[in-house]
Amino acid sequence: MTDKQPTDYGAFGAKTSVVALTVSYDGAGFAGFARQQGQLTVQGELERALALLFRHEVITVGAGRTDAGVHANGQVVSFELTADELAQRSFEKLRTSLNALTPEGLVVKSIEEKPAGFSARFSAIQREYRYRIVYGPVPPLFLARYAWWVPGDEPIDVHAMRQAAEYLVGEHDFKTFCVAKSAEGQTTMRRIDSIFIFGMQHLGEHSLVIQVVGNAFLHSMVRVIVGCLVEVGLRRRPPEWIEEILLARDRRAAAQTAPAHGLTLWDVRY
C-alpha cells in the first residue's frame, strides 16, 4: 500500500474493481454451483480460496446457477477487489494460486478485469448450454461421465428433433419447461436465440450435441427441453407435440428431465 495507488481509499470505502474468472468444472464432484452450508459447491470452494488469498470474505456472483452434476466449460464468476488488492499480484499469479487452492475437478481458466458495475449474472446477454447424448446399443465409455446414454437400435430421428426445436426458438413463456417450485411468482418468459443439433466426436466416441443459446434459462429448462426432444427423436411424439406442450404452460405436459451429467454450461456472452 503506497500513495502511488491513486484509486486506493483504504480499508473502508475503498474504491473497488471488478474481476471476472472463467471457470470450468466437472459437475460430478460438486453439489451444484451455488454456495450451500456443509456441501462442496463451486461457489463455496472459490470463495474459500479467495478468502484465503485476500484474508477477508469475498462474495462472488456466477453467470449461471448450475445444478448438482451439471458441468461448466465457461462459467463466469465475478467479485470485487480493492485497487490495492488488484495491484498486489498479476492475474497469472492469481490464477495459479486459485488453481492450487481449489479442489480437483475445478479449474480457473482465465481472469480479466471488468468495468465498474459488471456482474457475471446481470451483465450477461447470452448463455450457451450444450447437452451431449450418446444414442445407440453400445454405452459410451470415455463420454460416460459427460453424455446421456439413450439406448436404441433404430436410428434416432434428428430431422424431427430439429423441427421440434424450432417451436422453442423466440420469446415464449417456458413454464412447461421449468421445475415448478422455482417459477412461483416470477416471470417464466425467456428468449431462446437458437437450438442447433449436430454430431460431434470426443475421445473417439460419437455424440449428438444439442446446443441451446438464449438470454437466460429457468431452473432445469435445458434438461426438460432435451428430455422432450429425445421423445420426438425416438418417434414417441411428433414434432408438433412440442408446440402443444409449450402452449399448455404446465410442467406435467412435458417429458422427463434429461439427467444432469449430459449438460454443460458452455459459454456466457457479455
- Summarize as ranges the residues that interact with a copy of itself (CB under 8 A): 24-26, 71, 73-74, 92, 95-96, 99, 104-110, 137-142, 144, 146, 202-205, 264, 266
How far apart, in whole angstroms, are the C-alpha atoms of residue 254 and residue 178?
10
Query: Distance between CA atoms of 4 and 6, rounded to whole angstroms?
Result: 6
Residue 6 grid coordinates: 491513486
Is residue 46 a contact partner of residue 88, using CB atoms and an 8 Å limit? no
Q: Name the minimum Å distance from CB 22 to a copy of itself.
A: 10
Task: Tell me the closest approach of the beta carbon of residue 124 to a copy of itself, in angstroms.
Answer: 18
Q: Which is nearer to a copy of itself, 220 or 264 (CB)?
A: 264
- How near is the Cβ of 261 to a copy of itself at its closest, in Å? 12
Contact partners, residue 10, CB within 8 Å, separation at least 6? none
- The dihedral built from the CA positions of residue 58, 61, 66 and 70, taken in this order, carries a sign that is negative
Closest by CA position to 133, among listed 197, 65, 69, 192: 197
Give the active site residue among 3, 8, 67, 173.
67
**Is 250 part of the annotated catalytic residue set?**
no
Q: How many CA atoms lie within 13 A of 122 on its CB side?
A: 6
Q: Smallest distance, Å, CB 176 to a copy of itself?
A: 30
Comparing CB distances to a copy of itself, the nearer of 2 and 201 is 201
Quote the cell numbers at residue 120. 457475471
DSSP 8-state assignment for residue 151: -
- Please name which of 177, 238, 188, 237 lies closest in space to residue 212, comparing C-alpha atoms: 177
Shortest spacing between CB 215 and a copy of itself, in angstroms? 22
User: How far apart, in whole angstroms, are the C-alpha atoms of residue 228 and residue 8?
Assistant: 53
Instruction: List the catalytic residues.
Output: 67
